[in-house]
Every structure is written in C-alpha cells, then in structure tokens.
A and B are shown apart, each in its own frame.
Chain A
C-alpha cells in the first residue's frame, strides 16, 4: 500500500503485566492507528515464554480469550527478526514474507519492555520507536533511581529507604536499621514493578514484614516510603520531547491509592451512548480534572514537565504525585513511561483524541530518530595499532 507507514506494535512479553500490555496494545494503540489510516499495523505478540508471533487476529481481544490459545500460537508459528539496517519481521511458512518496519510502537509493560530492554534492541537496529529511550526507561522503571534522579533535579520526594533481597536475607540488621529511619505507616513496593502490583500499605510491624516478603516475591529490590498523612494522590500524563511538553489533566484518585484493582478491574459509572456502562482500564474511579487549588494545580503541571525533562523523557509518560492535603506540599512519587492504555481517557478529556495521541507519538518518535541520525557513533583512531 503506497504511502502507508508500517508500524509494528510489540506487546505481551515475560512480565507480570503481560495481560495489561495486551489491552494497551489493542485499545487504543492498534485501533487508533487503524482509524487514523495511513498506517499498516503489524501486531507483534511476545508470549509468556518469550516467543514472538505475528497475526492480524491479535488486534481483537477475543483472540487472547480463546481456550485453545496455545494451540493457536503453535499453528501460527514464530516469526524471525532481522535487526541490521532497521527491523524486519519474517513470517513463518513456505513463502516467508518479510515486513520492513518503519516505526515500532512498544506496548510492553514491565520487564523486558518498559524497563528499556526492548528500546536497547531497537536502538541497535536503527529503528524509530515510540516512547522513552533506553536510559529514561531504565531510570523510570527503578523507583529508587527515579527518586535519586528527580531529587538531583530539585524535585521533592517523600522520605524512603531501600534494600535488596540479598541484604534482607544476609544483612538483616543493616536493612532493619534503614527501616528505623521511617515511622509507620509506610508503603512497601517492589522497585521494578508497575500497575501497583504487590504494593502494600503497612501500619504495623507485622504488616511491614509481610509486605516486604510479598514485594521480594516479585522483585530483588524493595523500596519503603513514608506514608503521607492526609494524602491526595494525583497522576498527570505528559507528552512531548526535550523541546516541548504538553500535560493532559491532573487526575485524582477518589478511593485509596491507585491499586491494581482500582486501575484495571473496577468498571466505573460513566454512561455510554444508549445508557450502558463503560468497562476497562483507568475509568470511573478518579476525579478528572482534580479539584485542587489553582496554584497547586499549576505547580503540579510544572513539576510534571520538570520530571519529564529530568529523566530525559520522550513520547509519553505519566507522573504520579503524593500531596499532603494539610501542607499542600507535593512529592514526586513514581514515573510510568508506558501508562496503561496510554491513559487515553485522560487525554481525551484534555482535548486530544486517541487518534491524535498515537499519531503525535509516532511523529515524536520519527523526529527523535531524525535527530539521532545526525550523531556520530564512531571515529577513527590508532588505538589498535598499539597491539
């Protein structure tokens, strides 16, 4: 199809957020790219065992709900990939059709995707890709790194300590001493996981120890943060590059913290055309926009942009803040470089349709790639002559 850009949407993967990644990939990414027209969409699914597959049927959620899904994958056959001079996908079969990819749209939450692993692979292949680059992704994926980088940029965080699984097992006293720096209640989180998986609020020592065990079941590094009293939790999506950033709406959680259940399992009460209720990720449990004092709202927006720039963001991101309702002091909490479903419900409310969102992100990716192409990564030297 002349004039069409081939966009490979890569999703799934060996991650605790595998299923969420499927939803993000289908809605809004693939659906919006189709609606936008001008794009040939290649759905690239990475199974839980790490095998890569491609099929047009991956654009429908029903494909992933079938009881014979594994047999379906076997019949499909794995694709092969070429990484030199751009990314090429080779379909299995007798004819082995090859697809040259113009842009990759990563939709892999969590490990091997959002953590920068996939981005590194794509950088090496010289393929434009949507979203944060490898370094920014790695920083944002690690909650400790996030706080260290944002604090260095002058952005406030709540008091926290961290330790590894090894420290907890073999240097317990050191870990316990760190914990003593914080008064209960605290939040305990695996450092590298998103979607609030294994995040616990501990109000007693028993709960604290349980929470640490749960977190270490999922990760080898744990962060323990001081719980903010009179908490207001807000999140803000942002899109752009180093030159300019656009924030969407500041969104406030109406329940407790943005738990996995609240984010993905609770349906919400918004009415569809005809009177039905909406289902799915990120809807119905928050105040949008957040009803905050004007000055605080503006401060949050500015801190979002600063956070984006501090970690070298590109494409899309979501920044979570904790606010002490009494003192009105905001703290940068976490960064998410691949918000679930791109948080398109928030962008929509902010005046950016799903189609505009994905097309803008593709444009940002291509602009970054064009800039990076001008950089030189090799130079002549007489180093080898010494040997």
Chain B
C-alpha cells in the first residue's frame, strides 16, 4: 500500500518535477522512468530538485494541472449532489437512483485513483510544446550566434568524440597545453549543442586553443557539433556499447562518432589504437595513439601504481620524463597524445613535463582515497565497459591483500546488456576477492559471468546503494583495495 500512497502525497508533484529535470526534459526518458517507478517515496533520496527558473515554472505548471483536475472532480461532485437534491430526483425511480449513485461512486473512485498518473502524463504536453515552440527556436538562435563566434575565432580547435574517455582526455589536454597556451575547454555540463554554444559565448577571443568535448546522445549530433565547432584537430577515443539504448547498435554508434573524420584532415585526426573497433575504422592518413606512442613519439619504462603513472617519451632527440598522478596504464595513450599536441604547439620539454606533472585523477574517475589503511578507488563516474576493464587492469597489478569490487553495473547497454555484464563477471572472477552487487536488471548477469568463470571469492547482494555503501564499511579491513565503479544516476535505479 505504501507505494500506492506515495503517489498521493504533496511531495509527488515535486518528485515529478525532479524526474523531468533529471531526465533533462527528454520526454521519452521521463516517461520510461515514470513507468518503471513503483514507490515514489524512494525517488529523490540521493539527489534533490535543483531550484531554477525553469523548475519553478514546472512546479507551477504541475500544481495548476493538479488544481484543474481536482477542480473538475469538484464540479462533477457538485453536479451530482445538485442532481440528488433537485426536483429531477422525483422523476427517477429507486433503481435508477441507485444505479446513478453507484456509477458516480465508481467514476469518482476511478478518477481519484488515476489522478496521479494523469498528472504525470498530462505535464508531458506542455513540456513537449515548450521544447518545440520555445526551447528549439532559442537553441537555434544561440547556436547560430555561437557559429559566428567560432568562425571568427583564431584559436586552434580540438574536438573530442567517442564512447568513453572524453572527459579525461579533455582535462589532460587542457592541463598540459595550459603550460604554454591560453586554453579554454567545455565543462561537464556543456557537451550538448546548446551547452557548447553557451560555452562559446563565454570566450574572450584571446584563447589560443579551444577544446570541445562532444556528448553524443542521438544519431546525427556529432555532425551538428562539427558544424558548430569547425574543428582543426579531431580525436576519437573509441567506440563501444555505451549509450547503446540510444544508438541501438555499435555500428550506428561508430557511424555517428566517425562523422568527425569528415570534418578534419586525416593527418590531424587521432584515433585510439587500443580500441579495436575504432582502430578498424581508421581512415587512411589518420594517426593512431596508444600506450606505445603516437606519431614519432615512443613510450618506454612505463609504470603505474598508487602514486601515479610514469614513463619516458622520446622522439628523435627530444625526451620527456612524464610523471603524472593519474592512475592506470590506460592513461598513457591520452598522455602521450597530449605530449604530441603540446610539441606541435611549440611548448618546450620543461613546459610539457610540468603540464604532465599537474595532471591528477579527476573527481570520481579512478580517484584514490585512503582510510583506515584501506585504499579506495572511486571510479563511480566511469560508466562504460572500457573503463571497467581499465580499472580492473590497474587494480590487478597493485597486488593488494584483498580486492573488494562494488558496482550496480552499467546503464544504457541496450541489447548488449547481458553480454557486457557477463563479460564483466568473467573479468571480475580473475581479480576480485569480494564482489558487492546492487540489485537491478543488470547485475544478475554479472553473477552469471562470475559463475561461468568459477569465481571462488565472496559475492554479496544489496537492495540499494545506501545499504551497500554502509555495509562496505563493515566488510573492509586494512590492506584492502576497494574499487567502486559505475554509480547509477537515480533515474536508472
């Protein structure tokens, strides 16, 4: 009964507004979420509605819809009441009166019980109309303005596309190139078309380098990004099953991402050699980067541990002693790419080394903490299979007393969901001693993968992330390495 009554509390309205905001006002995502939720009292436990002008408008709209629907009910009740107390009653027989009364009760009961659903669905109409009639024209205007600014901006423009690793690469490039150039890069919330356009409007015109991270969500959006940003250099970090629910197939994802190749010269296109699919789709003349090197740069003496990642990069007579606080050998590819680009931008060896030394783990991306002699690697923003593999690869070579792995699994894997998570189970079986899984539609496949790989360690199940993280405190001990991966945004729970 509690889940049912959760739709009849005043907080239900705020939760609908929160769900719309968290879905970024994408109607289909919102409706899909509404259909999945049984108990609205569990919504908003991890994050709250962020107060903006838009959400205030939305809340007003939701309350107006609620008031209108209740008003209609009140009118109906009044009409029925008037009917029963009027002279018309005399003209009706007893059985007619009983039928009318029963019908009224049924209608009113049905109306009240479906009221919350009605509110949740009716609000979609003004939201959709708002997007089409207000937001889209506004977006077109902002994008058009941004295009003019970018066209006239003298800076070198670098575009980054891919299924994974974009943010890490963007931050590495920004940190390293900033040692000798004025660099501006899109931030976390600015990787949509409107977001990039707003970012462009903040530019001063004095920047030497602009770095754009493309957040691909829909087929065709990379084309839109390229038309806006007019990239001089393109980087493709890789293609995998991330966001498969939007693209339906990996091939479709690859097609979207490799649109970038049509907008830059091949010699200025860099592709991650360590990703098989991206490597196979490399256009002629494009460059491959990996932990072995890029262009004329060769990597040697590479080491990665909890202190960071170190290697030597050499190109003819040039030699760079790279010392980064980033964790994991998988970061050497992006780091050597940064070295190559910095060299092309005429930064000196000293500047490049200083820039590399300034790179450090980003929030929630293989970010290390230490507590009670336990090493915790917070990789909760990592949401793709390549990231899982990279994290496990790093942990395996640490030679910890015990490896504890915590995950709710990955989101948006579409039809590949089972295969991806079973593969994760196979990998975990070789690395983890304790696996803590949060119950949802994906994690049973991880369990299946563990069983298939004859996992000998301990498997623990939890109903929700809160219960899991509280129990983590009780299960861990000195010498453990804990890897936390893939925290789900609330609308996937």
Contact = CB atoms under 8 A, between A and B. Distances in A.
Interface in B129-188: none
Contact of A273 (B369, B373, B471, B477): B369
Given A273-B378, A356-B477, A31 B371 contact: no
Interface size class of B (residues with CB under 8 A): 20 to 34
Given A270-B372, A348-B372, A32 B477 contact: no
A348 B475 CA distance: 9
A273 B478 contact: no
Interface size class of A (residues with CB under 8 A): 20 to 34
A351 B475 contact: no
Interface in A331-362: 345, 347-356
B478 A345 contact: no
Contacts of B469: 273
B478 A349 contact: yes
A298 interface: no
A370 interface: no
B470 interface: yes
A180 interface: no
Contact of B479 (A35, A351, A356): A351
Contact of B476 (A28, A31, A271, A348): A348
A352 B378 CA distance: 23
A273 B371 contact: yes
Interface string B451-493: 0000000001000000001110111111100001000000000
B376 interface: yes
A66 interface: no
A32 B371 contact: no
A353 B369 CA distance: 18
Contacts of B471: 35
A31 to B, nearest CB: 6
Contact of A354 (B369, B474, B484): B474
A350 B480 CA distance: 11
A380 interface: no
Contacts of B372: 270, 345, 348-349
B473 A354 contact: yes
A351 B479 CA distance: 7
Contact of A35 (B369, B373, B475): B475
A272 interface: yes
A340 B438 CA distance: 31
A353 B477 CA distance: 5
Contact of B474 (A32, A270, A272): A32
B369 A28 contact: no
Nearest to B401: A351
Interface of B: 369, 371-374, 376, 378, 401, 460, 469-471, 473-479, 484
Given A272-B371, A273-B369, 7 more contacts: A31-B474, A271-B371, A273-B378, A350-B477, A351-B477, A351-B479, A355-B475
29 contacts: A31-B470, A31-B474, A35-B474, A37-B460, A270-B371, A271-B369, A271-B371, A273-B369, A273-B371, A273-B376, A273-B378, A345-B372, A347-B477, A348-B372, A348-B476, A348-B477, A348-B478, A349-B372, A349-B373, A349-B477, A350-B478, A351-B477, A352-B477, A353-B475, A353-B476, A354-B474, A354-B475, A355-B474, A355-B475
| Shortest 4 CB-CB contacts between residues of A and residues of B | A353-B477, A354-B474, A35-B471, A35-B474
